[in-house]
Amino acid sequence: MRFLIVGPIHHRAELNAARRARPDDPPLFPPTQAQYFWVKALRELGHEVSAFYTTPLLGGWRKLIPSWGIANAIALKLEALAGRFPRLNPGALALNRHLIRKVEKFRPDVVMVVGGTNIILPETLNRIRERYNCKLVFLSGTSPVVFFTPNEKAALPIYDLVLTNDAYHAIQCLELNAPRAEALPISACDPDFHRRYELSDDERERYRCDLAFVGTLTPDHLYSKRVRALEGLRDFDLGIWSVHPVPESLKPFYRGPALGEEMLRIMCAAKIVVNPHGNFMLYGGNMRLFEAAGCGVFQIADDLPGVRKWFKIGQEIVTYRDPAHLRELVGYYLEHDNEREEIASAAQARAYAEHTYRHRMKHMIEMLEPQR
Q: Mind listing the pLDDT tens digit for each residue in 268-293?
A: 999 999 999 999 999 999 999 999 99
Greater model confidence, 228 or 25: 228
Q: What percent of the chain has pLDDT over 70?
A: 91
User: For 330-369, how does the pLDDT look when each residue is reduced to its tens digit (9 = 90+)?
Assistant: 999 999 999 999 999 999 999 999 999 999 999 999 999 8
Same domain, 282 and 300: yes
- Domain count across the chain: 2
Q: Which CB contacts under 8 angstroms, 24+ apart, belong to 337-342?
A: 337/271, 340/271, 340/272, 340/298, 341/298
Same domain, 253 and 346: yes
From CA 147, how far away is CA 74, in angstroms rounded?
19
DSSP conformation class of 299: E
Same domain, 19 and 153: yes
Q: How confident is the model at residue 92 (pLDDT cuts 50, 70, 90)?
A: confident
Q: Do 316 and 347 touch, CB atoms closer than 8 A?
A: yes
Mean pLDDT over each residue of the chain, to the nearest integer = 91
By DSSP bridging, strand 272-275 and strand 299-302 are parallel
Residue type, 29: F
Q: Is 194 domain-assigned?
A: no
Contacts of 283 (CB under 8 A, 6+ apart): 166, 167, 168, 169, 183, 304, 305, 306
Same domain, 158 and 212: no
Same domain, 171 and 222: no
Residue 240's φ and ψ, nearest 5 degrees, are: -125, 130
Q: How confident is the model at residue 372 (pLDDT cuts 50, 70, 90)?
A: very low
Same domain, 212 and 236: yes
Same domain, 181 and 233: no
Same domain, 88 and 205: no
Specify the pTM.
Answer: 0.89
C-alpha dihedral (187, 193, 198, 202), degrees to nearest 10: -80
Range of the domain at 341: 201-354
Secondary structure class of 141 (helix, strand, coil) = coil
